[in-house]
Amino acid sequence: LAAFLGADVTRGLQAITVRGVSYVRGPLTFLGAPDDVWYRLTAEQSVIATPPVQVDTTLSAVGNAGADFSRFTIGEVAERDGVPCQAYLGDRDATTALFASLGAVGLQTQLPEGTVTDAATTIWVCEDGYLRQLSITFRGTTTDPQGQAQPFSFALDVELSEINGNITITPPPDARDLPAPGNTTLRP
């Protein structure tokens, strides 16, 4: 998505929502936002800032999907947010099976099995009973409409910290309005 919108793929798509108003960080050349600044989105444009996977939905799905966690191996013990946690590691087979089971509870999980060359999952479960971190990565190739092989990658990293703590998210102070469609010239 970041590459499609013209964002720096090493930084990814940066988005926040504060009091119902969404913001994205440029440059997003496809959207006519060429500068490295925050852009304010209209309600119609805010779909750009809505992730395809929500944290609460994803974590609930992992717990409710009926996934076969016997394919996971025990990893290291380390602290997450000051709490001792156990890592569970999934290889390619365990990760693709977990991802497929998430589809059974309604998440979008279309990954053609034959195209995934590398996949891994790390799940951190802590002594307080919380899942504090979930990381899922995929790499592979897919075929574009012209029949050409194209590499793809997917990374989901969810980290929960300061559970039940107060957080403050403030809107970017100098955000610009994202240009309306048709009011801009696209730049390469």
For 20-41, what is each residue's pLDDT tens digit?
888 888 887 777 778 889 989 8
Q: Is residue 31 part of a domain?
A: no
CB 113, CB 96: distance < 8 Å: yes
Q: Is residue 133 part of a domain?
A: yes
- State the Cα angle at 126 between 121 and 131, rounded to 5°: 50
For 48-104, what is each residue's pLDDT tens digit?
666 554 545 555 556 655 677 889 999 999 999 899 999 999 999 998 888 777 665
Q: Is residue 89 part of a domain?
A: yes
Q: Is residue 75 part of a domain?
A: yes
CB 53, CB 13: distance < 8 Å: no
Query: Is pLDDT at 116 greater than 70 in this prediction?
Result: yes
Return d(Cα 96, Cα 30) in angstroms, integer: 32
Residues forming beta bridges with residue 91, ordered by sequence position = none
Q: Is residue 147 part of a domain?
A: yes
Return d(Cα 27, Cα 39) in angstroms, integer: 9
Return d(Cα 133, Cα 159) in angstroms, integer: 4
The number of domains in the chain is 1
Residue 72 identity: F
Q: Is residue 151 part of a domain?
A: yes
Return d(Cα 178, Cα 98) in angstroms, integer: 38
Q: Is residue 60 part of a domain?
A: yes
**Which range marks the domain in which residue 133 is found?**
53-165
Dihedral angle of Cα 61, 74, 94, 155, to the nearest 10 degrees: 70
Q: Is residue 88 part of a domain?
A: yes
For 117-153, what is each residue's pLDDT tens digit?
899 999 999 998 888 898 988 888 877 778 888 787 7
Instruction: Work out the pLDDT band at 111, boundaries 50, 70, 90.
Output: low
